[in-house]
Chain A
C-alpha cells in the first residue's frame, strides 16, 4: 500500500501517540473530556474537508477564519432574534457560500492569485466584523445551546454530523465524476481543459463550497456555548492547512485523501490535551505542530526526489 504511505504513517503516528498516552497518561481517556475535545474539533474537521478540496484544486484559502467568525456572529444574532434554528443554519451556510463566491470570482474570474485574494478578504472581513461588533459577544437565548438538548446528546450529534460530512464528502469525491474533475484540475489544469473539464468553473465551485462548509461549521460552533465569541475562528486557517498538509494533500494539488486529513487533524488536535495529561507545558504545542508540519513536508520532498531520479 505504498500509495497510501502518508495517510498510513499519520494514522500510525496517531496510534503511537494514543498508545503512549494509554501507558503514561491513561487519564487522557476519560470519556467526557475526550468527547468534549472531539466536539470542539468537529467544526474544524468540517472546515478542513473544505480546505482539502481547495488545496487539491491547487488553490488556498486563508480567509476561512474570518469567514467563520462572521458566520458565527451572524448565526448568533439570528438565533438571538428567535429565528427557527433551521433558518439560522441556512443563513449561516448561505453567508459562508457568499464569501466563498466572492473569493472564487476573483480567483477564477480574474485569475488573481488565491493566496493574496484570500489574504485581502481575510483582513477585510475580520476588521469589518470587529468594527460592527466591537468585540461584544452575542448572547444566545435558551434552547439554542446544544439545540436545547442535554449536553452529551448535543455533543454526540455534532460529532456524528462532522463524521457524516467527512464520509459523505469522501464518498462523493470517489464516486461522482466531479471528484475526479477536481483532482484533474489540481493535477494539470491545462490537460483538464483539453479533456473537456472547465477548470475555472471547478475552482469557483470549490471556493463556494469551502464557504458553505465554513458556514455550517460556524453554526456547529455556535451551538456549543451560550454565547458567541466574535474572535472565534482565529487561527482556523492555519489549523486546517496544517491538518490538510500533514494528512497527505500536496500543496501542488491533485493528490490527497480525506481520511488522511482526518488522521492529520486528530493528530494535531491531540497534541494539546496530550501535553496536558503528560504534564508537559502546553506551550510546546506549537513547537510540536511546527515540527510535524516540517517532518511531513520533508518526507514528501525526499520521496519525490527519489521518484524523479
Chain B
C-alpha cells in the first residue's frame, strides 16, 4: 500500500484530466465524423441510455472505495424490475407504492450482501457472485422465464421516455443521485471513512471508525440504487423482463475503474466515475453514429481500461522505487 498520497491527489487529478481529455477528443472526433452526433437530441439520447448504468456505477464507487466489489447489481436490477411489475400488476398496488416496495426489496437484497460481507467478513467477490446468481434466478423463477410486465400507464412511461424541462426525465433522477453520491463520498465523514477502510480496515478500526456499519451501508445503498435503476429501466423500455440489467455490473465496474478508482480501495472519486460513464457512453453512441461496427466500442473500452490501469500503476511503481529507502524502527520484537 505504497500509494504516494500527494501522488494520490495529483494522480487523481491527472487521471481525471486525461480522462476528460479523452472524452473531449471522443466528442470532437465523433462530432466531425458521425451523422447527427453532436446534436442536442443525441446528447439527450446518450443521457437517457446511460442513466441506469450510471446509477449502478455511482453506487459501485463507494463499494470499491471500501475495497469491496458488488457483482450482483445487474441481477438485482432484473429482480427489482420484475418485482416492480408484479407489485403493480398482480398485487394491484398504485405505482408509487410499488416503487417504494421495490426500493425496499432492493435495500433488503443489499442487506443480504451487507450481512455476509460486513458482519461475517466473507470475501465480497464470492458473496456477490452467489447473489448474482441468486437474484437473477429468483427473477427468472418468479416470472417463469416468460412473464413480462407491460402496459404501464403513460404517466409512468414519461419518466423513461419523455423530457422534462428539456432534458430526459430520468436524467433528473440521475442528477439527484450524482449530487447525493458526490456529497456522500467527497463531503461527508462517511466518504472519509470509506477511504480509510479501503486503505486499511485495521487502521480504520483502531481509529474508532465503525467498520462493519460503514461497509454494510455501501452495500445496502447499492441495493437501493439498483432498485431505482430498475424502475427507470422499466419506464424507458416500457416493459419489465427477468433479463433486465444483464451485464450491467461489468459495465459499471469498468466505468468506475476507468474513472480512476483503484480496485483495491481508498483511491477514487465520483467525478471520475462520471467521466468514466460518459467516456463509455459517448464512445458507444459515437461509433454508432459514425456507422462503424458497434463491437468496436466494446473493444476500445477494453483497451481504454487497460491503458487506464497501466497509466495509474506506472507512477506508483516509480514512486515506490523511490520510496524504497524506509527507516526501520528499532525493533522491540524480532521479526
Q: Contact residues of A with B, CB < 8 Å? A: 60, 106, 110-113, 115-117, 119-128, 130-131, 238, 241-242, 245, 251-252, 281-291, 293-294, 297-298, 300-302, 305
Please determine whether A124 and B298 come into contact, CB atoms closer than 8 angstroms: yes
Question: Pick the contact of B137 from A125, A131, A252, A285 — CB < 8 Å?
Answer: A285
A115 CA / B264 CA spacing, docked (Å): 11
Residue of B nearest to A300 (CB): B122
Please determine whether A290 and B132 come into contact, CB atoms closer than 8 angstroms: yes
Please determine whether A238 and B133 come into contact, CB atoms closer than 8 angstroms: yes
Chain A contacts for B126, CB-based, 8 A: 245, 251, 293, 297
In the complex, identify which listed stretch (B46-54, B199-207, B228-236, B299-307) lies at the interface while the others stay far away. Answer: B299-307
Chain B contacts for A110, CB-based, 8 A: 310, 313
A10 CA / B205 CA spacing, docked (Å): 36
Chain A contacts for B257, CB-based, 8 A: 116
Given A238-B133, A281-B144, A298 contacting B263 (CB threshold 8 A) = no
Determine whether B108 belongs to the interface, using a CB cutoff of 8 Å to chain A: no
Taking CB atoms and an 8 Å cut-off, the chain B residues in 126-172 that contact chain A are 126-127, 129-138, 140-141, 143-145
**5 pairs from A and B in contact (CB 8 Å cutoff):** A119-B254, A124-B299, A281-B144, A281-B145, A289-B137
Q: For residue B201, give the distance in angstroms from its CB to the closest CB of chain A.
A: 15
Residue from the set A112, A120, A125, A305 with the largest chain B CB neighbour count within 10 Å: A120
Please determine whether B306 and A297 come into contact, CB atoms closer than 8 angstroms: no
Question: Pick the contact of A284 from B141, B301, B302, B313 — CB < 8 Å?
Answer: B141
Please determine whether A119 and B122 come into contact, CB atoms closer than 8 angstroms: no
Residue from the set A110, A281, A282, A287 with the largest chain B CB neighbour count within 10 Å: A287
Chain A contacts for B140, CB-based, 8 A: 283, 286
Chain B contacts for A291, CB-based, 8 A: 130, 134
Given A60-B125, A123-B298, A124-B303, A112 contacting B309 (CB threshold 8 A) = yes
Question: Pick the contact of B302 from A127, A245, A281, A298 — CB < 8 Å?
Answer: A127
Chain B contacts for A252, CB-based, 8 A: 123
Given A112-B309, A112-B313, A124-B298, A286 contacting B133 (CB threshold 8 A) = yes
Please determine whether A242 and B133 come into contact, CB atoms closer than 8 angstroms: yes
Q: For residue B276, give the distance in angstroms from its CB to the closest CB of chain A.
A: 12
User: 18 extra interchain contacts, Cβ-Cβ under 8 A, other than A116-B253, A126-B298, A290-B132?
Assistant: A60-B125, A106-B309, A115-B69, A120-B305, A123-B250, A123-B254, A124-B299, A125-B302, A127-B299, A130-B295, A131-B296, A238-B132, A251-B125, A286-B133, A290-B133, A294-B130, A297-B122, A297-B130
Chain B contacts for A242, CB-based, 8 A: 129, 133
Question: Pick the contact of A106 from B121, B298, B306 — CB < 8 Å?
Answer: B306
Ranked nearest first, the 4 interchain pairs of A and B with the lowest CB-CB distance are A286-B137, A290-B134, A127-B298, A124-B302
A301 CA / B121 CA spacing, docked (Å): 7
Chain B contacts for A298, CB-based, 8 A: 116, 120, 122
Please determine whether B313 and A111 come into contact, CB atoms closer than 8 angstroms: yes
Chain B contacts for A113, CB-based, 8 A: 263-264, 309
A124 CA / B138 CA spacing, docked (Å): 30
Determine whether B291 belongs to the interface, using a CB cutoff of 8 Å to chain A: no
Please determine whether B129 and A116 come into contact, CB atoms closer than 8 angstroms: no
Chain B contacts for A305, CB-based, 8 A: 121
A248 CA / B27 CA spacing, docked (Å): 48
Chain B contacts for A116, CB-based, 8 A: 253, 257, 263, 305, 309
A131 CA / B294 CA spacing, docked (Å): 8
Residue of B nearest to A115 (CB): B263
Determine whether B293 belongs to the interface, using a CB cutoff of 8 Å to chain A: yes
| Binary flags per residue of B95-125, CB closer than 8 Å to A gives 1, else 0 | 0000000000000000000001000111101
Chain A contacts for B137, CB-based, 8 A: 283-290
Determine whether B317 belongs to the interface, using a CB cutoff of 8 Å to chain A: yes
Q: For residue A222, give the distance in angstroms from its CB to the closest CB of chain B.
A: 22
Please determine whether B141 and A283 come into contact, CB atoms closer than 8 angstroms: yes
Given A110-B313, A128-B299, A119 contacting B253 (CB threshold 8 A) = yes
Chain A contacts for B296, CB-based, 8 A: 127, 131
Please determine whether A111 and B317 come into contact, CB atoms closer than 8 angstroms: yes
A131 CA / B297 CA spacing, docked (Å): 10
Question: Pick the contact of B127 from A115, A131, A283, A294 — CB < 8 Å?
Answer: A294
A110 CA / B314 CA spacing, docked (Å): 8
A217 CA / B302 CA spacing, docked (Å): 24
A252 CA / B122 CA spacing, docked (Å): 11
Chain A contacts for B122, CB-based, 8 A: 297-298, 300-301
A293 CA / B129 CA spacing, docked (Å): 8
Q: For residue B11, give the distance in angstroms from its CB to the closest CB of chain A.
A: 15
Residue of A nearest to B119 (CB): A301
Please determine whether A123 and B301 come into contact, CB atoms closer than 8 angstroms: yes
Q: For residue B252, give the distance in angstroms from its CB to the closest CB of chain A.
A: 11
A301 CA / B69 CA spacing, docked (Å): 18
Question: Pick the contact of A128 from B69, B254, B295 — CB < 8 Å?
Answer: B295
Residue of A nearest to B71 (CB): A238
Please determine whether B123 and A297 come into contact, CB atoms closer than 8 angstroms: yes
Please determine whether B306 and A251 come into contact, CB atoms closer than 8 angstroms: no
Given A245-B126, A301-B121, A123 contacting B302 (CB threshold 8 A) = yes
A201 CA / B72 CA spacing, docked (Å): 33
